[in-house]
Chains A and B, each alone.
Chain A
Amino acid sequence: MAGFALLLLLFVASVYAVALYNQLVLVKHNVVKAWANIDVLLKQRNDEIPKLIDICRQYARFEASLLARLTSTRAAAVAAQQGASAYSVGRAEGALRAEVAQVAAIAEAYPDLRANTQFRALQERISGLEAAIADRREFYNESVRINNVTIERFPATLLAGWFAFRPAELLKFSDD
């Protein structure tokens, strides 16, 4: 009887371990999926910025140094995105958002630029994308929290250690 009971215990433990492993896989993939969802929007937003720079350049007096900074910050954001590290993307993204906000603030002094329908449409598109990025960042960070809590919980932490499930990094923008 004791042998049967031991077998039953082993069976229960192995079913539980399989479910736990599947849970670790699920939360890990949820983080990857959430990151991919942000990545798409970051790319779309980064593709809009050169258009914004081109329109601003048409106004000769518009701050050339700001546009040059915006160009290099965008290049840094694109490079950071290719590295796919949440820390570097967060830093580059914070800087880029600050530059874009500055362009919008300075554009207030240029009535012709503000009246340009293309400029207004671009500004709306960029702020819409930034709002969507903010929402998805919140979702990504929640997925990261779930992943990190799951792999630190006992007994999942044993399986996470054996199968090398790692904690993920929160996405923090440097202007937060």
Chain B
Amino acid sequence: MTDEVQVFAFAAITAVSGYLMWRRNMRAANLIEGTATSRVASAAKGYVELAGTARGAGGKPVRDPIQFLGCLWYNVVTEKRSMWSRNRDWSVERREASSEPLALQDDSGSCLITPGEAKIDEEQDPDVIVKESSTRRHKIWRIHDGDPLYALGFLERREPALAGAQGELLRVWKRDQAKLIERFDGNGDGHIDAAEWERARHAALERAAADAAAAPDAHIHYQLRRPGDDRPLLVASRTEAEVSRRVTWRSRLGLAMFVGGTLYVLFALQRYLT
């Protein structure tokens, strides 16, 4: 009886997770197949599909924490299992992904992608599985410079937040009143009047613009974000055809799990009721 209940519960869980998997992947497949690929520089603001090559965005160098290999992005899932318990399945112990932005480059321009907002290579096979012991292993996904990169998300122009940077600079300058007066007190009366304050504001704005232009990612004029609605920001280091094939396959697998699980649940219920 206990075994039957366990199988029933397993079938029910399979049916529910299969249904969710089917719907989610069918929707992703529809979005991928239904959206034409844009070129970065001529894409209109909105939900777009881009395809190109992965490039660094000029931020800090990234190395995965297990093999210490340089890459643009990594995701490490550490799994463990018990040596002695009855259930020897792997369970997730820890997840860690890099947060440095990366860029998608095509022949027209580059676009910044912030990993925290994206579903990157989710549900793809890991690049490597490192076995630490018989009870602990690390699955590692990596994106390297030059890898093919596919992305589907909300594209917008990057505008440097000059007003915020200007305000921050002015706050810093105001902390050192003596230096502020030395720099901007044109008439030498020991006070900063309205005209002198305007000059300080202008200088802060110029400095903020210069800092923004000197930023390592200043040449990247676009960024891809998660849209405000429930559509995803999908990123994969695969070609569009591979990504599409993968989600279609997962959608069919989900459907099979849903139908199989549901049929078993119905069959078991009927047997129990009669």
Contacts and interface: CB of A to CB of B under 8 A. Distances in A.
A124 B195 CA distance: 40
A8 B35 contact: no
A30 B46 CA distance: 11
Contacts of B259: 8, 12
- With a 10 A CB-CB cut-off, give which of B27, B30, B46, B270 has the most chain A CB atoms: B30
A37 B36 CA distance: 14
Nearest to A26: B34
Contacts of A8: 259, 262-263, 266
Contact of A1 (B39, B43, B108, B270): B270
B77 interface: no
B38 A5 contact: no
Given A4-B270, A12-B255, A30 B36 contact: yes
Q: How large is the interface on B (under 10, 10 to 19, 20 to 34, 35 or more residues)?
A: 20 to 34
Interface in B178-223: none
B137 interface: no
Interface stretch (A57-65, A70-78, A86-94, A138-146): A138-146
Given A23-B30, A37-B44, A142 B37 contact: yes
B266 A22 contact: no
B267 interface: yes
Interface in A134-152: 135-136, 139, 142-143, 145-146, 150
A34 interface: yes
Nearest to A147: B34
B232 to A, nearest CB: 14
Contacts of A34: 36
Interface string A25-65: 01100100110010000000000000000000000000000
Interface string B13-24: 000000000010
A30 B33 CA distance: 12
19 contacts: A1-B270, A4-B266, A5-B266, A19-B27, A23-B34, A26-B30, A26-B31, A26-B35, A30-B35, A33-B44, A33-B46, A135-B41, A135-B42, A135-B108, A139-B38, A146-B33, A146-B34, A146-B35, A150-B34
Interface of B: 23, 26-27, 30-31, 33-39, 41-44, 46, 108, 255, 258-259, 262-263, 266-267, 270
The 3 closest A-B pairs by CB, nearest first: A135-B42, A142-B36, A37-B44
